[in-house]
Structure 1
Amino acid sequence: MAVIEFINASNNTYKGMKRAINYIKNPLKTAEYLTGGKDCSPDTAYEEFIMTKQNFNKEKGRQFIHFIQSFSPNDKVTPEVINEIGKRLLEHEVFKDFQVLYATHTDKEHLHTHFIINSVRFTKGYKWQLSKEQLESVKEYSDELCKEYGLIVVDGEKGKHKNRGEYRATDKKQSWKYELYLAVKHCKWCSRSKNEFIKNMNKLGYKVDWTDERKYITFTTFDGKKYRNRKLYPPEQFTKEALFKAFELNKQKADKKQLEASMELLLTAIGMISKDNSNKYNSRLSLTALEGQAKKERAIEETKGRGLNWENEK
């Protein structure tokens, strides 16, 4: 299980930044080989961060960003693998041109990696900004990495990320797009082939135009709205190549009956949401309503062993 948590630092100054850097490099919590830097050296990260700020005259305001990627004690994995996952997480586009110091801590029952990001981009001097959509994308990428390494993937710790995935539902102009995104994501991990993917999307009410002649896949909603896979965010996770890669992974992780059970459980949960008059979401946004909702957990418990949670897929 990997949970991404951003820490609000009360003392976000040069002094606070140095304290945070010293904390994550504390030899009582980590080892030198579990400490690394993206576009900076772990030994001189503090000085390099300051130099970047001075180069662009961006020495005021927020100085650093601190976040943690935590894993469950139930994940039987070594600190080296957790460190590698953290390093690969920084390949996400939101971290491009930002200096990042990271260290995997082994002092707690659960392994976790700390990240300290310089608040100023070293190429153009832009300050760090992270939209809700980008935050969701980082979490999704973290989940993809966990899946690749065979780790457990869940929604997060109880009470955290409660509204994960629901932020777009408040915008009626965008909610159908987010609902489509959820449908594609679910079918991506419940299918072992292109044909199974299309069939599962059909079950959720979507038409799929996927041909070899066209570069992009076009999805059509129940009311005729069309949307291409290149517009789903992040687009690199929904290319034809990425989908085929997921299908191959599914073949390795589960047999056909397990994936069919996953899809059936999802449809059962959707039926529960659609029949619930207290549901604040439109019945056509049932997947959005399932995101982070207790009903999803109850549906899983009531049909335990039927497969939706075969890798605790969200």
Structure 2
Amino acid sequence: MATIQRSNTKVANKLISYAERRAEVREGLNCPAEYAKSQMKATRELWGKNEGIQAHHIIQSFKPGEVTPEQANEIGQELAKEIAKGHEAVVYTHTDKDHVHNHIIINSVNYENGRKYNASKEELYRIREVSDRLCQERNLSVVKGYTAPTRYTLAEKSLLEKGKDSWKDEIRQVIDYERQYSKTYEDFKHSLTEKYGIEVKERGKNITFTHPDNGMKVRGSRLGNSYEKEKLEYEFERQIKQRKDERGQEPGNIGLSHSPESREQRDHAAGERVAEELGGQSKADGHFERLRQCSDGQASRSESNDGSGIGADKGNQRNHSTGNDFDIEQARAALAGEQRSLAEGFGKWQERNDAKQRPNDSAASRDPKQPEQANERDKNLHADRNQEHEKQRARQRKPVRTQDFELDR
């Protein structure tokens, strides 16, 4: 029996490092396993698609004791050949748990035509079908049925066909958004309640969500496999473990933390996080608007200011535990203050400059006749100069006497 899980990453090198470090067997497809990082990056840069999603990750898990690591790796290679034609891929087989499993990492860009890997839901179902067929060919057990990652009722399907969202889908959208930015499971639940007004209750293995506008309740299992309590908890535990493993890779980070270069890098990373938060906020606003719709698809925006709905103003601010929130209104106020200070300084400078250019303005204002007297003096001075110039030109034009010329000879 082999189960399939799929995800993606924007940092392919970290995922490859994690899978490679624990691999007992590794084998590359269309690229050597030891040069996977450099070759995949070269392909993405060649086609100008190194931004965004860099690699896709498939976990293929087998029943305990059913296959050897070598057999599992062979099945993973054949699976990668069928589902990722024209893409570089590497199959890493791990045995660190009670069951053997493959980490199949696929480059997001096709090296033949530069197209991106297809990661649709239909493709996920095809991957599972191919995996089941490969297992059956080797007389291995297969999963009888898969729990859908997202489960829609007939009423929801009808609304989706009309281009509308149901209240259950509104909850799914908020959960999908917050699970990307919450660091822990507790932080995730706190954000749903405080920012969107979604009440979260847990009882045993079940988790229930209550829509803030209509008060309707739904279990996570009714929303789909991806929204069950165990699935959500496992996802956050895996992220925490992965962050710890990444920190453990670089033991020299502490000693270099005070260098100017590392401080600059941290400042740059902080700027990127702020930009990402601001970019993600606009996406969240779209979710808030959709969350104000009822199950019949008609808009029912509340005019009250009690802030209880998912679309309330409190949902427009991220309230993470870091305490370093970016207040855009405060930044705008500070910028306006600086502009006013610059304008006042420029005005004072211009006044001083005008005063230097007109030093006798104050005296002229006291004596109205003074400008006329100054003009008269200027006229007399110019007349004297003109007379002097005329005398000099006359001396230059004076004829030379013959006797002077004879004496000079």
TM-score, normalising length: structure 2: 0.36
More contact order relative to length (CA 8 Å, sep ≥ 6):
1
Structure ranking higher in helix proportion:
2
Name which one, 1 or 2, has greater alpha-carbon Rg: 2
